[in-house]
Chain A
Amino acid sequence: MATSAPELLPYAKIREDLFRPLSNGSARYWITIAAAMSVIVLGLVAWGIQVRDGMGVTGLNRPVFWGFYIVDFVFWIGISHAGTLISAILRLTDAAWRKPVTRAAEAITVFCLMIGGMFPIIHLGRSWLFYWLIPYPNPRLLWPNFRSPLLWDLVAILTYVTGSVIYLYLPLIPDMAQLAQHNVPWRRKLYRILSLGWTGSDREWHALERAMKLMACIILAVAISVHTVVSWDFAMSIAPMWHSTIFGPYFVVGAIFSGIAALLLVMGTLRRALGLELYLTKHHFNNLSKLLLLMSLLWFYFTFAEYQTVWYGNEPSEMAVFASKIRGPYAPFFWTMVFCNFVVPFILLGIRKLRTITTAMVASVCVLIGMWLERYLIVAPTLGNPRMTSASGVYLPTWIEFAITAATFAGMLVLYLLFSKLFPIIAVWEFKAHPVEED
C-alpha cells in the first residue's frame, strides 16, 4: 500500500523538512491565528456576561439543567483519547508506521484536555468558587464530598492532564536537544532548557525508552478510566436512560472513535499546510481509516445494544426519553447522528475503492459532528423528560452557549498552530537509528 516510506529518506532531508515549519511564519498563518483569536475574544465576552448576570443568560432551565457545556466537556475529553490510545497502543505494539503520527496525536490529547477541563468550571453557577471541589486545607476543616462523581471527575482529569503532558514531553526531549543550536536566541534558550541537558548517551536512550514504555502503559489505563468516570456522571444518577451499566465502555468506545476522527482531520490539515506529503502518506491514512471504520462498527453495536434494551424493556419513564429521541423533537439530531457516525464511515471507508485521504477527511468531519450530537442526545432528552411528566421541558441554547463553544474550537486551533510553530509536529529523532531497549 505504501507508495514511499518516510523511514527510507536520508536523515538530513528529514531534519530539514521537519524543522523547516518552525522558522517561517507565512501571512496565512498569522491571519488564521488572528481570526481564531477574535472568535476566542467573543467567547470570553460571552462568558463574562454569564458570570456577571447569572446562568439565566444561557438556555438552561428547569428541568434541563445541563446543556451545551456538559456536551462540550464530554466531547473534548472524548477527542483527547486520540493521542493516548493511538500513540500508546502503537508504541507498545511497536508498529513502525506510527512514527510520523504519535506526536500530532499526543498534542491533541494535551490541548483537548486543557479545553475540556474548562467546561466543568464554565458550567458552574458560581464558577469563581470552583476550587471548593479541591481538597485543600482550610480553616473550617471542610472536605469535598468524595462520594460525588463530580469529584471523581476532577481527580481523573487532573491525573490524565498530568500524565499526558509527561507523555507528550518525554519523546520531545531528543528533538529539543537537536534544536538547542537554533539560531534565534530565545528559542535556543527555550529548547536548551527543555532538553534537560540531553547528550544522547546510551544510558539516556535506555532511560528514555523505558520511561516511554512505562508511561504508555500507565496512560492507557488512565485514559480508559477517565472516560469511564465521565460516563459515570450520568450513569450514577437515577435519571431515565442515564442509569445504564453499559455507559462506561460505551463512552470509552465513543471517545476513541471521535479521537481517531480528530487525529485524521489534524493529520490531513498538517499534511497540506506544512507540505508533509512525504511523511504523512496514504499508508498512514489508510491504516487510521481502517481503525476509524472498526470503531464506527463498535459504536454502532453499543448504540444498538443500548437502545434495543430500552425499547424492549418498555419502561414508561425510559420510553418517554427514547421516543423523544427516535421520533420526537430530537429525532432530526438522532438520525443525523446515525448517518454521520455509521452510514458515512461505513460506505466511505468500508468500500476499499472509496477509501482515500479525502474521503477519510470527509468521514472524520462527519464523525466529529455525529459524536457531538451523540453527547447532546445523551444530555438534553433525558433531562427534558424527567420522571415527573408535569415538569418536562425543552432546551433552547442562546448565543452565549454557541459563542463559548465556538471559542473552544478556535482555542484548539490556536494552541495547535502555536505548538506546530514551536515544536516539530513529527518526532524527528524517531527516524534516526538509536539504541533500542529490549522488552
Chain B
Amino acid sequence: MEHRWGMSIDLDRCTGCEACVVACHAENNLPVSSPEQAEKGRTAHWIRVDRYYEGEFPDVRVKYRPVLCQQCDNAPCEPVCPTYATYHNTEGLNVQVYNRCVGTFYCANNCPYTVRFFNWFAPEWPEPLQLQHNPDVSIRPAGVMEKCTFCVQRIQRGKRDAATENRPLADGEIQPACVQSCPADAMAFGDLNDPESKVSKLAGSGRSTLLMGELGTKPKVFYLERAK
C-alpha cells in the first residue's frame, strides 16, 4: 500500500464556522434539501459540525466537533453490504460504489458515527446552483447510499499531476475541500504512511484522540484536544 490517507482535526482551533460543510457541498455535488425534508432528518452533509455545551448558563462553553466519515480501517459498514458497494480500497479509503448499491441501508445502520446518507429522492438543486456542479464528481441517483470520500477525486488528480511531472507527491499537496476551506487551519490531510507528514506527526502527538476508538473501528480521522 503506497499511501494511507488520514486526517486530523484540531478541536481547540475549530470555531464551528461550518465553512467545511459549505465547501463539501460545493465540491461533492451534494443535493440541497428542502426545509420539509430537512425537518424529517433527510439532509445530506458529508461533514457536519456537532455542538456540545459544557457548564451552566451564563458560564457556558461550547465545543465543536466536525464529524465526517472516519474512513475506519476496521469499518463496520463494509462486511454487511451484500453487493460489495462499500469496500476498502488499496489506499485505506472506505469507498462507496454508487453503481453497485441496491439500497439495503445496512451499512448506515451499522455505522456508529451515523455519517452515511441516503438519496431519498432524485437529487435537486434550486436555481442556479445546478450550474456549479463539479464535473469530477458523479451525481448520485435516488435509492443509493453515499458518504464522505476524503475527496477521492482530488486524491486521484494529485497523484496524476505528480506522476505527469515525474516527482513524488508533496505533503499537503492534496487537500480535501473541507481542509482547504478551514479558516482556522484546524484540519490537516495527508499520508499516514509518511512518518514526516503533518498528519502523521499530529496523529502521533499526545493530543490525538479517536472518536469512539473503544469500538475498535480504527478510524483514520484524528481529533486533537487538550488533555484534561
Contacts and interface: CB of A to CB of B under 8 A. Distances in A.
Interface residues of A, number: 44
B80 A55 contact: no
A237 B217 CA distance: 13
B67 to A, nearest CB: 7
A150 B103 contact: no
B105 A66 contact: yes
B1 interface: no
Contact of A65 (B40, B81, B109): B109
Interface string A55-69: 110011111111000
Interface string B70-106: 0000001001111110000000000000001111111
B37 interface: yes
Contacts of A83: none
A123 B110 contact: no
Interface string B9-25: 00000000000000000
Contact of B80 (A56, A144, A237, A388): A237
Nearest to B117: A62
B121 interface: yes
B78 to A, nearest CB: 9
Interface in A309-353: none
A76 B133 CA distance: 45
A48 interface: no
B82 A63 contact: no
Contacts of A233: 106
B110 A129 contact: no
B114 A386 contact: yes
Given A62-B114, A65-B108, A238-B110, A55 B82 contact: no
Contact of B42 (A62, A126, A130): A62
B143 interface: yes
A147 B80 CA distance: 7
A275 interface: no
Given A55-B120, A61-B41, A388-B67, A238 B105 contact: no
Nearest to B84: A145
A126 B114 contact: no
A6 interface: no
B106 A148 contact: yes
Contact of A132 (B50, B51, B83, B109): B83
B109 A66 contact: yes
A126 B101 contact: yes
A238 B76 contact: yes
A133 B41 contact: no
Contacts of B51: 390
A237 B110 contact: yes
B129 interface: no
Contacts of A150: 80, 82, 104, 106
Contacts of A143: 84
Given A54-B143, A62-B118, A126-B143, A388 B113 contact: yes
A124 B102 contact: yes
A266 interface: no
Given A125-B145, A388-B50, A56 B110 contact: no
A409 B118 CA distance: 29
A388 B52 CA distance: 12
B227 interface: no
A68 B79 CA distance: 24
A63 B40 CA distance: 10
Interface in B135-160: 141-145
A366 to B, nearest CB: 30
Given A54-B142, A125-B102, A237-B76, A383 B109 contact: yes
Contact of A133 (B76, B102, B117, B121): B102
A59 B40 CA distance: 8
13 contacts: A54-B119, A54-B120, A62-B116, A124-B103, A125-B104, A125-B143, A132-B83, A147-B79, A149-B80, A233-B106, A239-B109, A239-B112, A393-B41
Given A61-B41, A148-B80, 5 more contacts: A53-B142, A65-B108, A65-B109, A236-B80, A388-B113
Interface of A: 53-56, 59-66, 120, 123-127, 129-130, 132-133, 142-145, 147-151, 154, 233, 236-239, 383, 386-388, 390-391, 393
